[in-house]
A = this chain, B = another copy of it.
Amino acid sequence: MPESLVIVQVYVHVKPDTVEAFRAATLDNARHSVREPGVARFDVVQSVEDPTRFVLLEVYRSPEAQAAHKETAHYQRWRDAVAELMAEPRTSARYVNVFPDHQGW
């Protein structure tokens, strides 16, 4: 078992008229990503207060799994599709899991 899961939150702010296009591209990415063996979760949530803001909650079982994700066709398709949909560059933050333990994701 790796020392910690690799948890990444990606914060995305899209242009108001691209919300639906972003949702569609991101659903495609998420549905494929959860089938990767090293991906424990790949959740996508949308802000209630500002529907142009999304968070991707990505949980990888190892650093290698995170690197492998970046090499997939679905990630690269998403990255290219959303580039022009964003109102500003996306940001991200890395976390370790406190609860639950590794098996709970």
Interface residues of A (CB under 8 A from B): 7, 9, 23, 26-27, 30-31, 34, 42-49, 54-55, 57, 93-100, 105
Indicate if the CB atoms of A26 and B96 lie closer than 8 Å.
Answer: no
Bound Cα distance from A26 to B98, whole angstroms? 9
Q: How many copies does the complex hold?
A: 2
Indicate if the CB atoms of A99 and B44 lie closer than 8 Å.
Answer: yes
Determine the residue in chain B with the shortest Cβ distance to A27.
B99
Could you list 20 A-B pairs, sorted by A, with CB under 8 Å?
A7-B45, A27-B98, A27-B99, A30-B98, A30-B99, A31-B99, A42-B99, A43-B97, A43-B99, A43-B100, A45-B96, A45-B97, A46-B95, A46-B97, A47-B95, A48-B93, A48-B94, A48-B95, A55-B95, A57-B57
